[in-house]
């Protein structure tokens, strides 16, 4: 009936949960489940992406293993969730990148970093590359700004297109095709995602090493997510400074791009390290360990971007600047290329699921399709 | 955590037998008062807390609505509800005491770290009278165990109490089996909170006869009544009908033990129920299902082989809470009979007779509607619609035992009363093991947790006090 064992298992569990419903107050997954009586692939992918993997329903479940019903919702939904990413990949031919994702991302990152180092070495005079630079435009003596903007602009644009196409595939798969995300629901989802509302096990915090709930994963995730946003904002403001005012990087320590970049960089160092540690100590019975590579690759990539960015900031007036710039840009470029083919997409699909959930709560299930205006 | 053998060799202020709501409330209260407390739980850690693991809510009186309870539920109203379901089989003093103390439970449970589920828009049908545990009974138990741990309570799992040394109504020591050895554990006071005997099929057979072999036990396999038996044998006064138990009709495909809440079936009122011989035997539409599900356990128990089949057609399949097991589906009555291993001609005759007796009416599951049969024995008095729109669906039913009523007599200090009516100075009881004092018959959703928590707290406090004096 179902395409994969994971989907079949999720279907089995949702039937049990739907007859039990004890967990309905813990998160969005259970109320969404209660609106359905049967679970097609799209329903399961929706529920799986709605799950924040807090673990509460595992420790609260009277049917968890060793009970013969062997209900393990977090583990099963996390398998379905990671399995769903490949389904939506654009172009479809690249879906296999999700299979051995850790390796794929590591290779792209390594090639990208190497390409920048070799590129710099080939096009830039060694004397320029390995000497200290000061003042406006120092970076661009190594790589011309126009080249940087075109290269990264193109990579970013590609990522955006691939992500949008992925999102459309997800939106159609979860049965929302034909409906449009609505303003109020999107705003609700932004608030829920921004606070990680459903990572708190219904209020006690999420389960990590054991049944003692803590909130550390949420804090680390916040550091990572807001760190990422700050870095992104830093790049945007810098680009704006460049084109609008003609101010060239590097900027001073207290300029907006540098402050944002520094805070963001710290977030991207602390957050992924914390998440990595939490991942290692977390009770493995409720997590899907088979996708370890994908998770680690994503965290490592973010960490590398944050750490090299900070190093670049501290050492930008030294002869190391050229090399560090190459490494940093290499990681950022690799990240852009792999965004649609790695753990990054989890945020996108979870956000989509939250929008869908807000719509169902607001408009009932099934969400009515928007009326076409009479021609 | 020290080795169990070392724990068993210490001398304790309070020994608690059991690991559910009643036991933990007693342990927490005793430890809070400064007593040293050892809890011995027969089950392994995962299965700790017997039937409490399977619970959903507790009932408490309150004068005004709060974040969770949607409206006031005065003491008097709870008392009337209790009087109604027990038909007066309740000790008024203890019942009123339970109800008065139930008012404290909301704050008490919150203070122990137990969380409750908000009733969003009044979606929970008992939202006014009952507080629902967020995440269910196991979540609630986890909170109580965390709290007990912080107060220094020691718990040993896989440690059934197997013997009691009692002299003239005074507890001296207990025998506890653990890891293939027997230990003698000494304590100044004893709290028996080890549940009823519903998982002890042999004992159930004494009351019900060999039919009990076919009963399914909805809760834990560890409530075998060993502590209850030891106490009664040692001269503690009993209460409650030894031949009664709370039995509901559940899906026959449920596991023998621990199927819990998800094995319930709510489809009976929408169709007919036939026994192994293809015959109807009771009015399926007598009243709303929540008011009738508890008599269907007995009804099915009285049928040959203790099995029955609820049969509905395609018009009703989406009308009740989805069930954990898929319905048995068939395109024709003959196919259905074959799948259920029933006599096809008999089944067809029963259904055709039923269909012929259905009077026109306007179907309304939310009311005691006027859809009824005429000229049948037994009639179906509400929600009677013909079974005529294939596919047909069937769910097999068996009696599912929730709990037993027999218990030990206690006073309002949770002290066990000995034969001859003297209270024991240092033996206390709480929970299902004494629930019969308050709930002699019938059932009121959520009252089990209430009795356990109220008497657990009293037992813990009194036991702690006794030990320190
Ligand atoms: C499916 C189901 C749903 C229910 N839902 C509700 C509900 O929503 N609300 C409600 O109020 N009530 C409900 N009940 C009833 C409720 O479970 C009981 O009233 C309540 O659990 C009794 O609490 P207790 O602590 O006395 O017993 P239990 O919770 O059953 O605990 C008894 C403990 O004693 C242990 N034990 C047994 N023998 C020994 C021994 N020899 N030595 C040591 N330990 C021993 C057991 O392992 C167990 O841990 C439900 C019952 C079932 C079966
Ligand atoms: S996870 Fe377990 S307790 Fe929670 S709803 Fe599902 S079956 Fe019930
Ligand atoms: S793990 Fe947490 S978020 Fe996921 S279904 Fe369970 S309770 Fe909900």
Residues β-bridged to residue B275? B308
Same domain, B290 and B316: yes
Nearest CA in chain B to A16: B324
Predicted pLDDT at B302: 95
Residue pair B182/B211 in contact by the 8 Å Cβ criterion: no
Confidence of residue A375 (pLDDT cuts 50, 70, 90): very low
CA distance to A69, B16, B150, per residue, from A269 (Å): 41, 50, 35
**Closest residue by CA, ligand 2 atom 2:** A61
- For chain B, list residues with pLDDT below 50: none
Closest CA to B192 of B450, B452, B465, B467: B452
The answer to whether residue A16 neighbours chain B at the CB level (below 8 Å) is yes
Which among B345, B380, B400 is the end of a domain?
Answer: B400
Taking only the tens place, the pLDDT of each residue in B92-146 is 999 999 999 999 999 999 999 999 998 755 555 788 999 999 999 999 999 999 9
**A 177-236: CB under 8 A from B:** 201-204, 211-212
- What would the mean pLDDT of A272-296 be, rounded to a whole number? 91
When computed from its CA atoms, the radius of gyration of chain A, rounded to whole angstroms, is: 23
Which numbered ligand comes closest to the C-alpha of B196?
1
CA count, 13 A, side-chain hemisphere, A320: 11
- Is A63 exposed, middle or buried, given 0-12, 13-18 or 19+ CB atoms closer than 10 A? buried
- Is A326 exposed, middle or buried, given 0-12, 13-18 or 19+ CB atoms closer than 10 A? buried
Predicted pLDDT at A371: 63
Same domain, B210 and B339: no
Are A203 and B134 a contacting pair at CB < 8 A?
A: yes
What the block records as the tokens of B105 is 């439970």
Same domain, B270 and B187: no
Same domain, B155 and B90: yes
Given a cut of 60, is residue A68 above it in pLDDT? yes
Nearest CA in chain A to B120: A25
Given a cut of 90, is residue A45 above it in pLDDT? yes
CB contacts < 8 A (A, B): 78
| Other Cβ atoms within 10 Å of B3 Cβ, number | 9
- The CATH code for residues A90-347 is 1.20.950
Same domain, B418 and B362: no
Predicted pLDDT at A131: 84
Given a cut of 70, is residue A298 above it in pLDDT? yes
Nearest CA in chain B to A202: B134
Predicted pLDDT at A374: 46
Given a cut of 70, is residue A99 above it in pLDDT? yes
Closest CA to B272 of B287, B262, B282: B282
What are the residue ranges spanned by the domains of chain A? 5-86, 90-347
Which among B360, B382, B400 is the end of a domain?
Answer: B400
Ligand 1 closest atom vs CA B222: 47
What the block records as the tokens of B202 is 């042999």
Are B54 and A16 a contacting pair at CB < 8 A?
A: no
Same domain, B149 and B164: yes
A268 alpha carbon, distance to own chain's centre: 13
Which ipTM did the prediction report?
0.95
Taking only the tens place, the pLDDT of each residue in A337-363 is 999 999 999 999 999 999 999 999 998
Q: Where are the beta strands (DSSP E) in B392-463?
A: 392-404, 407-408, 415-417, 423-429
The answer to whether residue B381 neighbours chain A at the CB level (below 8 Å) is no
Number of structural domains (chain B) is 2
CATH of the domain at B29: 3.50.50.60
Predicted pLDDT at B316: 94
**Where in the sequence is the domain holding B63, given as residue range(s)?**
4-242+405-468
Which among B353, B376, B400 is the end of a domain?
Answer: B400
Cα B28–B31–B32 angle (5° rounding)? 80
pTM for the model stands at 0.94
The answer to whether residue A143 neighbours chain B at the CB level (below 8 Å) is no
CATH of the domain at B376: 3.90.700.10
User: How many Å lie between the centroid of ligand 2 and the Cα of residue A57?
Assistant: 6
Same domain, B331 and B446: no
Which one of B123, B134, B149, B221 would you mutate to disrupt binding with A, by most A Cβ within 10 Å of its Cβ?
B134
The answer to whether residue B138 neighbours chain A at the CB level (below 8 Å) is yes
- Is B297 exposed, middle or buried, given 0-12, 13-18 or 19+ CB atoms closer than 10 A? buried
Same domain, B211 and B325: no
Closest CA to A230 of A206, A262, A199, A203: A262
Predicted pLDDT at A246: 87
**Which residues from chain B sit within 8 angstroms of residue A19, using beta carbons?**
261-264, 321-324
Are B323 and A57 a contacting pair at CB < 8 A?
A: no
Residue pair B326/B391 in contact by the 8 Å Cβ criterion: no
Helix (H) or strand (E) holding B338: helix B333-340
Predicted pLDDT at B319: 92
Same domain, B390 and B420: no
Cα separation of A162 and A147, whole Å? Answer: 23
Are B117 and A68 a contacting pair at CB < 8 A?
A: no
Same domain, B364 and B379: yes
Place of tokens 């449009």: A180
Ligand 3 pocket test: pick from A26, A207, A208 the residue with the most ligand atoms within 8 Å of its Cβ. Answer: A26
Closest CA to B274 of B352, B162, B177: B352
The answer to whether residue A37 neighbours chain B at the CB level (below 8 Å) is yes
Same domain, B192 and B46: yes
Taking only the tens place, the pLDDT of each residue in A110-129 is 999 999 988 988 888 888 88
């Amino acid at each position: 009936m179902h395409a994969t064992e994971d989907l079949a298992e999720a279907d089995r569990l949702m039937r049990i949960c739907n007859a039990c419903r004890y967990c309905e107050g813990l998160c969005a997954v259970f109320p969404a489940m209660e609106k359905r009586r049967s679970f097609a692939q799209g329903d399961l992918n929706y529920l799986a992406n709605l799950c924040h993997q807090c673990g509460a329903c595992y420790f609260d479940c009277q049917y968890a293993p060793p009970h013969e019903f062997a209900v393990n919702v977090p583990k099963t939904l996390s398998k379905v969730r990671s399995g769903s990413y490949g389904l939506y990949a654009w172009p479809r031919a690249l879906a296999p990148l999700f299979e051995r994702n850790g390796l794929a991302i590591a290779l792209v990152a390594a090639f990208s970093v190497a390409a920048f180092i070799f590129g710099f070495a080939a096009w830039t005079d060694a004397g320029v590359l390995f000497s200290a630079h000061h003042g406006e435009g120092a970076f661009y003596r190594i790589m011309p700004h126009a080249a940087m903007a075109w290269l990264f602009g193109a990579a970013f644009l590609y990522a955006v297109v691939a992500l949008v196409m992925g999102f459309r595939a997800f939106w159609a798969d979860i049965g929302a095709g034909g409906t449009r995300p609505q303003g109020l629901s999107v705003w609700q989802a932004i608030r829920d995602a921004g606070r990680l509302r459903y990572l708190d096990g219904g209020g006690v915090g999420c389960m990590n090493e054991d049944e003692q709930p803590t909130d550390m994963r949420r804090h680390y995730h916040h550091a990572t997510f807001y760190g990422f946003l700050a870095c992104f904002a830093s790049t945007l403001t810098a680009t704006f400074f460049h084109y609008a005012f003609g101010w060239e990087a590097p900027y001073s320590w207290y300029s907006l791009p540098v402050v944002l970049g520094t805070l963001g960089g710290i977030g991207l160092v602390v957050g992924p390290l914390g998440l990595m540690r939490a991942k290692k100590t977390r009770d493995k019975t409720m997590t899907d360990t088979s996708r370890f590579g994908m998770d680690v690759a994503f965290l490592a990539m973010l960490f590398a971007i944050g750490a090299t960015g900070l190093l670049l900031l501290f050492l930008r007036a030294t002869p190391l600047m050229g090399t560090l710039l190459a490494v940093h840009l290499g990681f950022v470029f690799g990240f852009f290329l792999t965004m649609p083919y790695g753990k990054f997409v989890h945020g996108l699909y979870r956000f989509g699921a939250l929008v869908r959930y807000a719509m169902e709560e607001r408009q009932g299930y099934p969400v009515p399709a928007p009326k076409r205006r009479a021609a | 955590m020290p080795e169990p053998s070392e724990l068993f060799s210490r001398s304790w202020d309070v020994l608690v037998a059991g690991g559910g709501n009643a036991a933990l409330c007693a342990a927490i209260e005793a430890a809070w008062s400064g007593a040293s407390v050892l809890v011995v739980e027969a089950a392994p850690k995962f299965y700790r807390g017997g039937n409490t693991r399977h619970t959903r809510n507790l009932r408490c009186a309150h004068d005004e609505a709060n974040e969770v309870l949607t409206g006031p539920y005065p003491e008097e109203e709870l008392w009337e509800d209790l009087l109604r379901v027990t038909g007066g089989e309740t000790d008024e003093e203890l019942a009123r005491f339970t109800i008065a103390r139930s008012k404290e439970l909301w704050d008490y449970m919150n203070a122990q770290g137990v969380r409750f589920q908000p009733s969003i828009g009044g979606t929970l049908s008992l939202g006014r009278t009952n507080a629902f545990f967020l995440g269910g009974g196991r979540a609630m138990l986890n909170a109580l165990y965390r709290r007990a741990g912080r107060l220094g309570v020691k718990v040993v799992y896989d440690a059934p109490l197997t013997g009691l040394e009692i002299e003239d109504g005074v507890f001296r020591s207990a025998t506890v089996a653990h890891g293939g050895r027997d230990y003698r554990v000494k304590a100044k006071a004893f709290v028996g909170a080890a549940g009823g005997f519903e998982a002890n099929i042999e004992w159930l057979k004494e009351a019900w006869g060999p039919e009990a072999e076919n009963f399914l036990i909805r809760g834990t396999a560890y409530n075998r009544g060993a502590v209850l038996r030891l106490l009664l044998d040692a001269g503690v006064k009993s209460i409650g009908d030894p031949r009664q138990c709370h039995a509901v009709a559940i899906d026959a495909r449920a596991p023998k033990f621990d199927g819990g809440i998800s094995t319930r079936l709510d489809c009976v009122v929408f169709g007919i129920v036939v026994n192994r011989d293809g015959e109807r035997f009771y009015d399926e539409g007598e009243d709303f299902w929540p008011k009738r599900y508890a008599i269907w356990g007995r009804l099915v128990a009285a049928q040959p082989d203790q099995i029955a089949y609820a049969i509905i057609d395609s018009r009703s399949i989406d009308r009740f809470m989805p069930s954990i097991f898929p319905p048995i589906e068939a395109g024709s009555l003959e196919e259905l009979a074959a799948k259920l291993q029933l006599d096809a001609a008999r089944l067809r005759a029963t259904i055709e007779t039923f269909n012929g007796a259905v009077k026109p009416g306007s179907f309304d599951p939310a009311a005691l509607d006027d859809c009824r049969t005429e000229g049948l024995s037994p009639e179906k008095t509400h929600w009677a619609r013909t079974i005529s729109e294939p596919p047909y669906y069937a769910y097999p039913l068996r009696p599912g035992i929730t709990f037993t009523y027999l218990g030990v007599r206690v006073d309002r200090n949770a002290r066990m009363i000995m034969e001859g009516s003297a209270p024991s100075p240092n033996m206390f009881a709480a929970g299902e093991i004494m629930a019969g004092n308050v709930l002699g018959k019938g059932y009121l959703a959520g009252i089990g947790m209430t009795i356990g928590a109220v008497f657990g707290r009293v037992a813990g406090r009194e036991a702690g006090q006794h030990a320190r004096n």
